[in-house]
Structure 1
C-alpha cells in the first residue's frame, strides 16, 4: 500500500525529475544498560566506545514542526524514552529550529535551547544517544515551506513569488522565492545587522553547542538537515554537483564545524550532502574541515529497485575513512519497504534512524511521540535483532524474520590496532522478545555466553586465544 506520506516523497522525486528533464537526456523486555562509555568516537567507518568496541545504533527521529518546536510540548517524556530503550533503540535524532534558537539576528532564546537540552537529558537517563539536529524543510513558510525551521530574517526572496504549493519537493524545485532565498543563503547575504547569514548560522551553532558540550550520551551534531542547492538542482541530480558540494555546501558546514569546536571539542560532527542524494544522486560531499571527529549524515528515500542511496553514502564515507550514518529513511509503515531498507542497511553493518510517520506534519495526522502504536504498527519489523556492541571487528550480520534466525560474525582483533580492547569487553546483541516470543537457543564458536538465558541483551565474552566468533540465534 502506498501511504500518504510515502506518496508525498514519491511526488517530490517526480517533481525533481520533471525539473531535470529540459536539461537532461532522455514489544520487548527491558534491556540491561551496557557497560560502555557515554562518549563515542570513530575509527574509520566504525563508531567506537571507550573500550574500543564497535557500536551500532538503531533509533528514530524526534523533530517537532509545530510551535513551540520542542518535543516536551508534544508530550515526549520519560515513559516514551523508556519505551524506546526497551525496544532496542539507542539513539534519537533530536531536532531543533534555528528560527527558535535565534529569533532575531544575534539574539538567542536560551529557554528554548534548554527545552531541547532537557529532552536530551531524558534520553540520556535511558542510555539513549542524542544527535542534535538543525532541522529545516524548504527554508520556511515565507518562501513556500510548511513550517519555520529557518528564521524569516535569514530569508531573502527578493520579492519573487512562492510558486506552486503541491508538496515539499515541488516547492523546492519550482518555487522562485525558494530558489532565490537559497541562492542568497549560499552567497552569505547580509542580515539586517550587516553580518552574513552564514556567520549567524555558525555562531548560532556555537551557542547551541555550549549547552550540550558537557552532557553525556550526546552522539554529536547534525549540521543541517537536507540542504537544497537552489536552481542548480538538476546538475546535483545528475552528477552530485561536486564543485558546489566542495565549495558552497562545504564552506557553510565548515563554518559551523569550526564554530562548534570553539564550544565543544569532544562530540562528533556530522555533515550532510544535498537533499538530492536522498533519491540516489551521487554523493560528492567532502569532510568540510578534515576534522578527525567528523562523519556524514545522509538519507535513504530511494524508490523501488533503486539501490544507490545507501551505497553512494557509504562509498563516500569509506573513501574518506570516516563514519556514515543513515539518519532518515521510512516515512511509511509499508512492511515491504521497511524490510528492504533495513535489510540493506544490515548488509552494510550500518547505524540508522527511522523517520516515522508520527514525525510527519500532515493535516490529518498531528505529531505525536514516536512510541507505542505510533511507532510500531503490527507487523512492522523496525524492532529487530542487531549487535549493539562488538568486542572486535564485525564481519557481517543478518536477520531472517521468517526463520527467526539471527547470525553474527566478527574477528576478535580490535578496529583500532593501536588500542587493545579492554580485558572485560563484552559483545552485546539485542534480541527482542517480539521476534523470539518463546525464547531462543544459541550456537556460538569462539566465545562464551555470559548473560542469562533468553535475556533481551545477549552478552558474549570471547574465548582466550580465539580470533573469530560465529554466533547463530534461533527462536524456539
Structure 2
C-alpha cells in the first residue's frame, strides 16, 4: 500500500506541476478584451462567457429584391419590414452576460462581466468566482494527491477519498466535453435542416450565405457558447497573447460601443442601449475575420440609434442599426453595419426611426461586399403626430444598402405615418389601368405634347418667354400635355433649403396650361449631371468631382470622357454622404418629397418623371456592353426609394421611370435586348423612354431604329402591366425622321411628347436650336415665321384623346385618319353604355377646308368641322370605327 501510494503520489505531483505550468503560461495574456479595440488587446481581464446555449434559430433567406418588389403592394402605409439577413439570432450574449435588450441590462456579478482595459486590475482582483480552465482544475485535483504521495503511510480512507475526488473531477470534465459536443452537434444538425428545407435563393450571394456562411456561423457560435468552447478558446487566446476566438463584449454606459470579436472568429458586441435623453446608442462592435457585426444600441429619448458593427473581414454580416429614441423629435435609426468581407458580406439592416411629434428617419442599410455581397434593408421611419401636431413632412425610410457584383440591393424602409397632417389624395383624374392611362370616367386617355425645359437660371419656362399665347397655340393644334422641366439646383439651391418661390413659378405655368385643357408632366431634368460640367441638374453642393480633371467634351461626349462628371455620377449611385448629412440619393428623394407635397392634389399634374436620362457613371462601359447591374441593382432601387418619398405625401399621382441614358442603352435596345430595368414597387407607374434615330448619319436606318426602340419599351411595359410613354423624340426638322419616330410610338398606341417646344435655353443638345424647335422664340407670338410649320404639320396629326372603350388602332396618311376601338372598358369591368362619347383631335391645321366623317357603330355628336370630333357609341355596339377625310377645296364638309 505504501508503494502504491508513493507511486500515485509521484505521478500526480508531476501531473500537477505540469498542469500548473500550463495554467500559468498565459496569466498576462488577453482572454476577452472589452471595447472597440478588443481584437488587438493583450491585457487579460476575466474569462469569456461560460454559459451554454442552444444554437441560434435561423431564418429562411429572402429572395432577390426585384422578386420581393414584384409581389409587394404599393407602399402607402408603414409596414413591418422583412429582414434581408438569412441568419437571425438573439443579440449575441457577450462575455458580460448581457444582451442588446431595449432596456439597460441588469448588473451582473463581477465574474460574469468583461472589464475594460482601464479597470482590468480591479476586475481581476474582484473576481474570485471566475471560471477555472481545464488545466487549473486538473492542478487543483492533483495537488492533494501529490501531497498524499509525499507521506510514507497514508491512511486507506484518505487514499479512497483522493481517488473519488479525481474520478469526480474527471467525470465533471467529461460532462463538459459531452455537453459541448452535444450542443455543437445539435447546432450542426439544425444548420443542415435549414439548408435542406429552406427556400433556395437565386443570387450568388444568397446561395453562399445559405449553403456556406450560415451553417459555419451557426456551429461556430454554438461552440463559443459552450463551457468547453469557453475553456479551449480561453487557452488559445492566452497562448496567442491576443483575442483570437470569441464574441465581443456588450457596450456599457461608461463605454457605449460594443467590443470587437476575436480577430479570427467572433461576433462584435452589441452597442449600449442608451437610457439618457439626447444620448445616442452605442455602436456595435466589429467582427473578426469571420463573424457578424454587433447590433447598434437604441438611442435615448430623441437620440439616434447606434450604427451596426462591420461584418467579418473575410466573410460576415453587418450588425443592424439601433432604433432611434422617441421624443418630440424622434431620433434617427442607426445605419446598418457594412458587410465588408473580402469574399462575402451582407449589410446590416438600418434601425427604425423614433416616433414623435416629428418622426425620425430610418437608418440606411449597410453595404454588401464588393463581390458576393447584398445590401441591408433600410429601416422604417418613425411616425409623426405622436404627442402633438407635426411641423414637417413625414419622415422617410432609410435607403437600402448597395449591392456587390453578385448580390442584390437592399430595400428602402417604409415612410412614417404623417400624423394629423392630411396627405392630399392625388386627385388628378388620371391614373393607371393596366397598360393604359385612364381618367376618372374609365376612359383611355392618349396624350400628345411637347417638352418645355429651360436649362439656364432661373430655370423657369417664363424666363424663355413661354406664356399664355403659347398655351393657346398648343391647345389649338391638338396638344394636350407639356413635359415641364424642373431643375434640382433650383428646387434646393442650398442643402436642405427648398425654394418655394421657384415651385410657385412652376405652379403658375401648370395652371396656365390647365386653363387651356393641357396636362403637365413634371420632369426632374438633368443633362451632364450639373452646371459644373456645362450641363444642368444637380446643385453644386451635391456635385462631387473627386478632384479629377473636368474637361468639357460637349454633349453627349462628356458622358464618356469627362472623369470628374463620371465620378460625380458614381458617388451619387453610391449614395455618398452630402453636406446635409444624408446620402446624395437620400437628399434627392427628400427633395422630391417636397416637390410632390407642393403639387399633390393639383388636378393638372398627371405625373412625376423622377429623373431624365440617368447615367451610370464609371460603369458606363459595362452597361453599354450589356451588364444588367446598373439597371437592376442601382437604378431600380433608386426609383423605389424616390417613389416611397413621393408616396409619403402623394399616394396616387403616377410616377414615370426611365431606363438608363440612351448613350449607354440605345444600342442594346436596337439590337433587341430587353430593357435593363427591374420591377418598381408601385403599380401606378409609367415607363418613359426616348426614341432618337441618331441624327442625319443614321437617317436611312431611322425607321428601323425608331421601331426597335418603341418595341423594346412596349415589351417591358406589357411584361410589367404598365403603360409606355415616349416622352422624348425628334430634336430635328428632318421630316422623314420626325415622321418615322412619331409613327413608331403611334403603332403601339402610345402617348408621346416631342423634343422640343423651343430650342431657346437648350445648352445640351446634339442638334440645332432652330432645328429642334416647334416655335423658335416663345417671347414672340407663335405665328408666321416664328413657327416651324414643317414640324407642326407632322406633329399635329389627328389622334384619339379620350376613348370610351379600348383603342385598337389608328393611322393617318394622305389626309385620311382611321381609328377603331372596342366599347370594352380597359379595366375589364364590362362595356360602356350606348351614347358613351369618344373625343378625337382633328385640328384645323390638318383640315383647313373642313372634314368628312364616316362612322360604323356610332355617330357624330360634335359640331361640323369642330377641332374636337366627338363620337357617341350606338346601342348594342361592341366596336366602333371612324374615318376622317379632309374636304377638298370647294366641296361641302359633312
TM-score calculated relative to the size of structure 1: 0.87
- Tell me the CA shift for residue 375 of structure 1: 5.3
Map 1:247-262 → 2, pairs under 5 A: 247-262=633-648
- Contact 1:42 1:322 (C-alpha < 8 Å) held by counterparts: yes
- Contact 1:447 1:463 (C-alpha < 8 Å) held by counterparts: yes
User: In structure 2, what is the Cα distance between the partners aligned to 1:207 and 1:257?
Assistant: 12
- Tell me the CA shift for residue 234 of structure 1: 2.6
- Tell me the CA shift for residue 168 of structure 1: 1.4
Residue 443 of structure 1 corresponds to 854
User: In structure 2, what is the Cα distance between the partners aligned to 1:166 and 1:329?
Assistant: 23
Map 1:235-384 → 2, pairs under 5 A: 235-239=622-626, 241-276=627-662, 279-282=666-669, 283-289=675-681, 291-303=682-694, 304=699, 305=701, 306=705, 307-356=707-756, 358-359=758-759, 361-362=762-763, 365=769, 368-369=777-778, 372=783, 376-378=788-790, 380-384=793-797
Instruction: State which drifts further: 82-91 or 303-312.
Output: 303-312
Structure 1 vs Structure 2 CA RMSD: 2.0
- Tell me the CA shift for residue 213 of structure 1: 0.4
CA distance 1:78–1:300, shift in 2 (3 Å): same
- Residue 221 of structure 1 is aligned with which of 605, 608, 611? 608
- Tell me the CA shift for residue 365 of structure 1: 4.8
Deviation track 1:276-300 (CA, whole Å, cap 9, x = no partner) reads: 36634332223322x1211111111
- Structure with more of its chain in strand, by fraction: 1
Deviation track 1:148-181 (CA, whole Å, cap 9, x = no partner) reads: 3211111111100113x33212100111111111
Residue 395 of structure 1 corresponds to 808
Map 1:145-184 → 2, pairs under 5 A: 146-163=534-551, 165-184=552-571
1:85 aligns with 2:494: no
- Tell me the CA shift for residue 75 of structure 1: 1.4
- Tell me the CA shift for residue 424 of structure 1: 5.1
User: In structure 1, what is the Cα distance between the partners aligned to 2:680 and 2:575?
Assistant: 17
- SS in structure 1 of the partner of residue 688 of structure 2: strand
1:199 aligns with 2:557: no
Aligned length: 433
Deviation track 1:217-254 (CA, whole Å, cap 9, x = no partner) reads: 11110000000011222332333x32321111112121
- SS in structure 2 of the partner of residue 358 of structure 1: coil
Question: Structure 1: 5+ residue runs without aligned partners?
Answer: 1-36
Bigger Rg, which one: 2
- Contact 2:580 2:587 (C-alpha < 8 Å) held by counterparts: no
- SS in structure 2 of the partner of residue 250 of structure 1: helix
Map 1:47-196 → 2, pairs under 5 A: 47-142=437-532, 144=533, 146-163=534-551, 165-196=552-583
User: In structure 1, what is the Cα distance between the partners aligned to 2:514 and 2:725?
Assistant: 20
- SS in structure 1 of the partner of residue 794 of structure 2: coil
User: In structure 1, what is the Cα distance between the partners aligned to 2:641 and 2:882?
Assistant: 45
User: In structure 2, what is the Cα distance between the partners aligned to 1:420 and 1:410?
Assistant: 12
- Contact 1:411 1:469 (C-alpha < 8 Å) held by counterparts: yes
User: In structure 1, what is the Cα distance between the partners aligned to 2:722 and 2:629?
Assistant: 21
| Structure with the larger RCO, 1 or 2 (CA within 8 Å, 6+ apart) | 1
TM-score calculated relative to the size of structure 2: 0.47
User: In structure 1, what is the Cα distance between the partners aligned to 2:692 and 2:616?
Assistant: 18
CA distance 1:71–1:278, shift in 2 (3 Å): farther
User: In structure 1, what is the Cα distance between the partners aligned to 2:778 and 2:529?
Assistant: 24
